[in-house]
Amino acid sequence: MVETTISRFEQYLTGVLARSANTVRAYGAEVRRFGLFLENRNLSFTEVTKADVRAFLFELKGGRGNVSISRTLSSLRSFYRWMIREGDLDFNPAASVASPKLPKRQSLFMTERETVSLLDEEEGRDDVAARRDQAIFELIYSSGLRVGELVGLDLGDLDLKGLKLMVRLGKGGKDRLAPFGEPAAEALKGWLEVRRHWFDPAVSGEALFLGRRGGRLGDREVRRVMDRRLNASGLDERYSPHSLRHSFATHLLSAGADLKAIQEMLGHSSLATTQRYTHLDLDGLRRAYRSAHPRAKENAKDVDQ
């Protein structure tokens, strides 16, 4: 009965909310862990109180940090919202449980020089994998894609002539058009010229990016490719494919792009999310202020004369 309920919840996450496979797995795992906790207390999902949720989180605190606890609580809140939707409950026992305090953290992004270094094609590699990898990194940086969006792209989503692509069912289930630049277009053309070498009609389908066995490229492989490129470039190993997305937004903002436009390109539903997502270094802010504000210069008194 418990497993049947969780499976239905996972189907809802996939089919209705269009959550990624990773999110579905993570939420399902947390709810299963909670189910075992309730089983030891001879409780069902429908008998849970706020105190039970708090007791479960307290038990987890022994081996987890606040970020992990917060994710667990988010999973339970989503699960019980679904149960209310299904008519199994009329209240959410996890809704009013306080989330643990999380440290303020700025997401890692690359400087423009570091980004150029990462995007420099690796010497001595002109094979199928090299062309695919170059297209991956150029496209993430050029369009600000999430890795899940990148690996979900199909050939039909790509418009090379118009320099744009359709990002389907991104986070929140919203499709959007994303532009990309000439370097990304050239890298994509290079990949498409050799894609046939890995194409397998039995498993490839319409996937834009393929793995060596012909199937759709997975997000873990993108992370492995990134690690290799970071090592070859001598860059900080803490960077991830998502750092390129952060860099895309930050560099656009630094160049004067409108925040609302960046929000649309990133696919954020809230402008506040975009504001947290983008960063300008202090020197950049100081330069922008001194060059634009009429009262920032030493001779500012002359401006009004």
Q: Which residue among the candidates 54, 171, 176, 216 is catalytic per the annotation?
A: 171
Element (H, E) at 167: strand 164-167
Nearest alpha carbon to residue 88 among 97, 79, 76:
79
SS3 197: helix
User: How many Å from the N-terminal Cα to the C-terminal Cα in the chain?
Assistant: 81
Q: What angle do CA 294, 300, 302 make, to 5 degrees?
A: 115
Question: Beta strands 176-179 and 164-167: pairing type?
Answer: antiparallel
Let me know: does 49 contact 93? Beta carbons within 8 Å. yes
Q: What is the dihedral of CA 70, 7, 25, 169, to 10 degrees?
A: -100
What 3-state DSSP class applies to 210? strand
Which amino acid, one-letter code, is at 187? A
Active-site entry in 19, 77, 132, 146: 146
Could you say which of 50, 168, 242, 279 is catalytic?
242
CB atoms within 10 A of CB 20: 20
Residue 10, Cα to own-chain centre: how many angstroms?
Answer: 20
Q: Which of 80, 141, 239, 277 is labelled catalytic?
A: 277
Contact 237, 227 (CB under 8 A): yes
Task: Please tell me which residue in 132, 229, 246, 268 is annotated as part of the active site.
Answer: 268
Question: Is 239 marked active-site?
Answer: no
268 is catalytic: yes
Closest CA to 36 of 3, 78, 64: 3
Catalytic residue among 77, 245, 246, 251: 245
- Pick the closest to residue 183 from 256, 247, 119, 126 (CA basis): 119
State the Cα–Cα distance between residues 129 and 198, nearest whole angstrom.
10
Catalytic status, residue 277: yes
Asked about 245 being catalytic, the answer comes back as: yes
* Enzyme catalytic residues: 146, 171, 242, 245, 268, 277
